[in-house]
Structure 1
Amino acid sequence: MSPRTLYRRIAAAEVVTWALLLVGMFLKYVTRTTDLAVTVFGLVHGVVFIAFCLVTLLLWVNQRWTLREAVLGLLSAVPPFLTVWWERRLERRGRLEGDWRLGRGGDAPVNPVERLVAALLARPAVAVAVGLVAVAGLTGVALVLGPPVSSQG
């Protein structure tokens, strides 16, 4: 799977989970029928949000994005539906072009972060496993910390 395809898919998944969470919030706060949808869709959205952020960091290294592009990519996951707009903007600017730069037969890594990315790209099954463990671990941390606290009393 190319960097472009991976980013397009994770950006679209993030948008879908945002929509589901908003539906859940509507059911909880407007119709007052159930809060189950917020619980379920909130967790799903949180998992996909974390995955989107990790993929953004992976592509920041592989595609040689600027720090500004990386930060804007991470921030695009916060407001609803912005990730697809961000992905399309990167596409139009050619920032998702090409195959995995640090993959087999690609550029030699020049720093520890690139060496890590190259090692993962050389072993796709390991990369998927590491990604799943990272998402699960960060989701666990988020669950322990709990949802953001409202300033309303």
Structure 2
Amino acid sequence: MLSFFRVIAILEGISYLALFAITMPLKYLADLPMPNKYVGYAHGALFITYGILAIVLWMEQKWSIKKGIIILVASLLPFATFYVEKKYLSDTAVA
């Protein structure tokens, strides 16, 4: 399940960046709202999946409170899920 969470973390980060760096400007500057709608749906689903998996893995893996909170808060900040994946979830991450 941890490897699946790693994939979700990366996809959630990509969807966050796509939403705010690509589709929001298209919506407001080029009057093209449809890409924003679909990327927004995908980002929402990934965001919820990330949060649920983070909580489930927090309990399963017995992560510390600090680590669990960092991993949860990462979904709210651009680029943070990439950092979490590299620092806390990758095969080379310190336990």
- Name the TM-score, length of structure 2 as normaliser: 0.85
The residue number in structure 1 matching 2:48 is 50
The residue number in structure 2 matching 1:25 is 24
Matched, 1:34 2:35: no
Q: 1:83 aligns with which of 63, 81, 84?
A: 81
Gaps of 5+ in 2: none
- Name the TM-score, length of structure 1 as normaliser: 0.55
Runs of 4+ in 1 over 4 A off after TM superposition: none
- Alignment of structure 1 residues 4-153 onto 2, 5 Å: 5-22=3-20, 23-29=22-28, 31-90=29-88, 91=90, 92-94=93-95
Work out the number of aligned pairs and report it: 91
CA distance in 1, matches of 2:30, 2:77: 24
Kindly indicate whether the alpha-carbon contact (under 8 Å) linking 2:50 and 2:75 is maintained by their aligned counterparts in 1.
yes
Gaps of 5+ in 1: 95-153
- Structure possessing the higher radius of gyration over alpha carbons: 1
Paired AA for residue 75 in structure 1: V
**Higher normalized helix content (fraction of residues):** 2
CA-atom RMSD in angstroms? 1.4
Cα deviations across residues 63-92 of structure 1 (Å, max 9, x unaligned)? Answer: 110122111111100112211211211142
Percentage identity across paired residues of the two chains: 25
Paired AA for residue 23 in structure 2: G
